[in-house]
């Protein structure tokens, strides 16, 4: 699926929604490794951005986004609107990241 046909808004300029296919989601549950936790702990000593956690969070969000797009494609969508993220701690050191939105079939509008 083309990423330019995804948005947090509920419409995409230049496109008409021809069909609403419903909610799609991508869920990733990830834990921190002992090595990542130790490395991040060392980074906290000097302050600033904790890059090990930043990279883990970015990868997890991207993975959940891609799973959501795959789900939408399987339904026949060519776009996803109203995209949101949610994150919950399942247990200590284990986090669920959910990307969700509405799968749609979009058609380019004639101008």
Predicted local distance difference test score (pLDDT) of residue 83: 98
Report the candidate in 76, 98, 96, 70 with the shortest Cα–Cα distance to residue 3.
70
Q: Which residue has the tokens 């060392």?
A: 42
Predicted local distance difference test score (pLDDT) of residue 45: 59
The token duo for 11 is 């419409």
User: Where in the chain are the domains?
Assistant: 3-108
Q: Are 1 and 105 in contact (CB under 8 A)?
A: no
Predicted local distance difference test score (pLDDT) of residue 47: 60
Predicted local distance difference test score (pLDDT) of residue 85: 97
Report the candidate in 61, 67, 60 with the shortest Cα–Cα distance to residue 85.
61
Predicted local distance difference test score (pLDDT) of residue 62: 96
Start-to-end CA distance of the chain, whole Å, equals 24
Predicted local distance difference test score (pLDDT) of residue 110: 86
pLDDT tens, residue order, the chain (111 aa): 889 999 999 999 999 999 999 999 999 998 765 555 555 555 565 666 667 777 888 999 999 999 999 999 999 999 999 999 999 988 877 889 999 999 999 999 987
Predicted local distance difference test score (pLDDT) of residue 23: 98
Question: Domain spanning 3-108 has what CATH number?
Answer: 3.30.110.70
């Amino acid at each position: 699926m083309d990423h330019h046909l995804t948005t947090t808004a509920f419409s995409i300029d230049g496109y008409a929604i021809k069909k609403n296919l419903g909610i799609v989601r991508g869920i990733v549950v990830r834990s921190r490794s002992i090595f990542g936790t130790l490395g991040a702990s060392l980074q906290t000593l000097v302050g600033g951005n904790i890059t090990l956690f930043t990279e883990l969070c970015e990868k997890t969000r991207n993975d959940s986004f891609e799973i959501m797009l795959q789900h939408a494609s399987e339904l026949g969508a060519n776009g996803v609107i109203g995209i949101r993220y949610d994150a919950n701690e399942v247990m200590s050191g284990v986090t669920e990241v959910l990307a969700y939105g509405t799968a749609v079939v979009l058609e380019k509008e004639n101008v």
